[in-house]
Amino acid sequence: MGKRVIVITGGGGFIGGHLAAKFLAAGHEVRCADIKPLDEWYQVHRGAKNFAGAMRGDCRDFKVCRTICRGADEVYQLAADMGGMGFIENNKALCMLSVLTNTHMILAAQEAGVDRFFYASSACVYNADKQKDPNITALKEADAYPALPEDGYGWEKLFSERMCRHFREDFGLHARVARFHNVYGPHGTWEGGREKAPAAICRKVIAAKVSGKHEIEIWGDGTQTRSFMFIDDCTKGIEMITHSDILEPINLGSSELVSINQLVDIAEDIAGIKLERHYKLDAPRGVAGRNSDNTKINQYLNWEPNIRLRDGMERTFNWIYEQFTAKYTAKTAHKSSVSTFTKGSHPIPGDGFNPESKNMKTWKQGIPAGWGGAPVKAPAKTAKKSAKKARARR
């Protein structure tokens, strides 16, 4: 495969940043788009062409999608409004709005005649009735139906999977879909409310170590189980799946199942401390158990994610420790637990309040301009005629 023009949406995000680095190192031309201003990107690759901010990188806007897809060979659609369980349970409308990004990107990719289109789906598409026991039977791809996905976020992912399928069947677009199972690693969200469990637990353990207050709050009772995939396995899997002949959505996740309590054990061991545990039983906790059945990916690719959780957690912990200690001290460590995303959070930064988006004509507070806004004023001549008719009726 020679040099290719590759588009990565969500390029300023965690997975997108790592994927951009991988493709740049391979000598490809990379375009990254992200709604976040460039100074908020997790990784900025100067070798890439970066479309940043609400005016140039908001892929909910079809014009932006057309611009970045023009002349592209491959598209990796990673952009989405999402986060950890605390975010997706409290912001279902925002998660659903990602359907706009998915729709406009696949339309633009089809129009541009791209060779490959990759869509990042999620294990949240799986039927919730199959995830009620922490001792979960690993989820097979067929377990997405009959449909009962995570409300909001899971429905958006499942709908967009179907859209990829029908664009492939009806228009011949080479669409590939992977269902991610909890990706973690350095250069990702670790505070603020959007972070996933591995990063959140690393941060909490680091805060306890730095502050000297050796206790930790755990959401739920700690028995809920998950598998966690290190970022290097994720980017390798994305590339392999995209260039494969796999037509169906496929699991991309580790099959190493652990409970949240065991995840805390690992972080404590890396930090060299033991903490008193407090369980917040009313906090969002998601399904009781979720694991990846990797039978199909092994059959197709003779490979599956295999980086050991303990090894990946150590690399993640060390990176977050550097970020944490650069920002917080023993006296301020408690401030790291403050969440900036609560129920009804606005899309960021295209929310109509950030300086960069105040004058946006296309978007305000996540809704296209003109949808449910102030009524359009009648032209001056029409208004005068209406006034004359009103006076005539008096």
Which residues have CB under 8 Å from 327's CB, separation 6+? 336
Q: Which among 42, 119, 153, 184 is annotated as catalytic? A: 153
Look up 279 and say whether it is catalytic.
Answer: no
Strands 183-184 and 229-230: parallel
302, amino acid identity = N
Q: Is residue 295 packed enough to be buried (19+ CB in 10 Å), middle (13-18) or exposed (0-12)?
A: middle
Specify whether the CB–CB gap between 178 and 331 falls below 8 A: no
Specify whether the CB–CB gap between 208 and 215 falls below 8 A: yes
Phi, psi dihedrals of residue 214, rounded to the nearest 5°: -85, 70
60: its two tokens: 């909910």
Picking from 258, 191, 251, 260, the residue whose alpha carbon sits closest to that of residue 222 is: 260
Which residues have CB under 8 Å from 181's CB, separation 6+? 123, 226, 227, 228, 229, 251, 252, 253, 254, 290, 291, 292
Q: What is the DSSP letter of 117?
A: E
- With DSSP H G I counted as helix, E B as strand and the rest as coil, what are the percentages for the chain, rounded to 5? 45, 15, 40
Q: How far is CA 54 from the centre of its chain?
A: 17
Residue listed under structure tokens 């969200």: 189
> 32: part of which helix (H) or strand (E)?
strand 29-34
Beta partners for residue 49, in sequence order: 31
Which residues have CB under 8 Å from 232's CB, separation 6+? 18, 185, 307
Specify whether the CB–CB gap between 86 and 339 falls below 8 A: yes
Instruction: Give the N- to C-terminal CA distance of the chain in Å, as an integer.
Output: 78
How far is Cα 105 from Cα 120, in angstroms, rounded to an integer?
Answer: 12
Catalytic residue IDs:
153
